[in-house]
Amino acid sequence: MVNLPSGVRLERSDIGHEYLNVATDAAEATVYLQGAHVAHFQPVGEQPVLFMSSMGLPQPGKAIRGGVPVCFPWFSSHKTDPSMPMHGLVRQRNWQLDWADRDELGRIVLGLSISWDESMFTAFPGRFKLSLNITVGREMELALTALNTDNRAWTFEEALHTYFHVGDIQKVSVEGLAGVGYSDKVDNFAKKIQNDQPIEFTGQTDRVYHQTAATCVVHDRVLNRKIEIAKQHSLTTVVWNPWIEKAKAMDDFGDDDWRRMVCVETANTHEQAVTLQPGESHTMTLGVRVM
């Protein structure tokens, strides 16, 4: 059993999810061991930063909708087998809590991991260890590290599929991607280039921005705040809102939930997939700050 610092408790929900509850003078957070899933982050004096589905948590073993899902080793659907789970193998499995500590700045730092096992072979034969370090202070930092523990090279996709809580998506804009090329999934993956204006939302939006390491900022005119999303070693940014009809078709998503969320995802997908040689590792980081 890992020794937990003051401000961190390991608890179990009524339906069986184990989770870490973090509460400090700077912020509070909730991290589920299933998927190493950050479901809540709220600096003191602020509104919650992350969106969670109004439908509530599913039973253990079902993917959690909202927060920060970890997608690995593929993004979206499996390339050759659509029966495989969306967004990879690690969202629906329990991770191990390796350590928990308080750093020199008083922030809580959690280390979780999951390793390849034989049940994953058919979907992804490459052996790996995946680690997620989560730092909770006035800002939240996530560092996702993939290690190749196999004797051959393999290629993977990854994402920190972050759902942000907003007051009204129709009064939200996202800046930081001007001039960046993207694939428009709503328009049959048409290749386009973002104009010099911030992204605004007037309908279903599902865009994969390529070759960008840019910091993005969500401007929320209703909640009167900005959320800065900084990243390192990520060359893909995904911007998503399902809008009205798709929201109604999703059984784990409230009919009106589309109004109060936007995904700005830190990723390496498609042409930006990462190849690791045996023994090599890759770390992708995300930093979230309310301004």
CA 17 to chain centre: 19
Catalytic annotation, pick one of 37, 78, 87, 161: 161
CA distances (Å), origin 281, targets 128, 129, 146: 9, 9, 5
Q: Mark whether 18 is an active-site residue.
A: no
Joined together, the tokens standing for residue 178 give 């001007």
Active site residue 165: no
| DSSP states of 192-236 | EE--SSPEE-SS-EEEEEES----EEEEETTTTEEEEEEEES--E
Tell me which amino acid residue 55 is. M
Catalytic residue among 139, 157, 158, 265: 265
Which stretch of DSSP H or E encloses residue 243?
A: helix 243-249
Q: Which of 287, 207, 193, 210 is nearest to 241 (CA)?
A: 207
SS3 state of residue 98: strand
User: Burial of 84 by CB count in 10 Å (0-12 exposed, 13-18 middle, 19+ buried)?
Assistant: middle
For residue 103, give the 3-state DSSP assignment. coil
- Residues noted as catalytic: 161, 265
